[in-house]
Structure 1
Amino acid sequence: MARRNAFYSFHYIPDNWRAAQVRNMGVLEGNQPASDNDWEKVKQSGNSAIKNWIDAQLRGRSCTVVLIGSGTAGRPWINYEIEKSWADGKGVVGIYIHGLQNREGRQSVKGSNPFRGLIADGVLLSATVKAYDPPFASSQYVYGHIKNNLATWVEEAIAIRQKH
């Protein structure tokens, strides 16, 4: 099975360290993260520039992987990434990453499901899109669980999207 090209959606400030762990597993081809300076330039250019940047990042991706941290749910740009991905026919899957350690070696609290209440193309995403929560307390085991299952979860997400 060829590696899929994925877009990673996450709340940057608290979760970039955790997101980098998932991105660097090498299971999927992924978008390159924006540097702090690049993202600040995009943000300063306004909402249409942010939408254009996100749209460009989504091009050529087969799936959006939403890395769910403590504050991911309800963020406007994450909602946009999810809804745009679904509207464009991409698979969408969520993975809770609160069990991974940050750069200080700390885990986080589990956040809410970011798909709750979102409707895209008439589909209630919380009833359709899966969000996986690794069943381990140890960051090392959480990491291993994500690494061992990520490709399967992405394939499943793509198959689910093709049915809807």
Structure 2
Amino acid sequence: MARRVFYSFDYENDCWRASMVRNIGVVEGDQAAKDNTWERVKQGDEAAIRHWIDDQLNGRSCTIVLIGARTADSCWVNYEIEQSLSSGKGLLGIRIHRLLDQHQQESSAGPDPFATLTLPDGRQLSSIVQTYDPPGESSKEVYAYISDHLEDWIEAAIAARQR
């Protein structure tokens, strides 16, 4: 049975790469916000953006953070991680910087967003959330690796949260 997941990512820099991962098809992901929808949402105040994110997270069993060059700097990605954690969703990260964008360019690897967030006991969130850095020399190899392992990574993240 396909899991319903939420994809969290830096929209400005990684929308193209994120759409590649969402199109893998082994899970039921959130529908990509059309450019005009996201532009309208982000023009709202913070409460409206939070409400939209909360609606998108509703009914999902896992949040997949697609990590690019600036993902850790996004206050909205951090909010999505915090909401996912507080609601008991599985959480995992996948580095996507080696997937090509619409200009056929890779990007630089950014910091792990889970390393910048702390748990109530003071540990970094990265101590309990797995981040995957898919191997491969080319974008095609990285994509194939993600495709081959995504379902297992999701199940592992959900199982880890249930413990």
What is the Cα deviation at residue 103 of structure 1? 1.1
Alignment correspondent of 1:30: 29
1:115 aligned counterpart, secondary structure: helix
Alignment correspondent of 2:63: 64
Structure 1 stretches of 4+ with a deviation exceeding 2 A read 119-124
Letter in 2 for 1:153: W
What is the Cα deviation at residue 14 of structure 1? 1.3
Distance in 1, matches of 2:118 and 2:143, equals: 30
2:150 aligned counterpart, secondary structure: helix
Alignment of 1:75-114 (within 5 A): 75-114=74-113
Distance in 1, matches of 2:139 and 2:44, equals: 37
Alignment correspondent of 2:16: 17
Distance in 1, matches of 2:85 and 2:119, equals: 7
Q: Percent identity?
A: 52
Distance in 2, matches of 1:153 and 1:143, equals: 14
Distance in 2, matches of 1:117 and 1:72, equals: 11
Alignment correspondent of 1:145: 145
Tell me if the contact between 2:5 and 2:60 (Cα under 8 Å) persists in the aligned partners: yes
RMSD, aligned CA: 1.1
Normalization by structure 1: what TM-score? 0.95
Tell me if the contact between 2:72 and 2:116 (Cα under 8 Å) persists in the aligned partners: no
What is the Cα deviation at residue 35 of structure 1? 1.4
Letter in 2 for 1:137: E
Unaligned stretches of 5+ residues in structure 2? none
Normalization by structure 2: what TM-score? 0.95
Distance in 1, matches of 2:68 and 2:98, equals: 9
Letter in 1 for 2:136: F
Deviation readout 1:86-130 (Å, 9 max, x if unpaired): 100000000000111111111111111010131245463110000
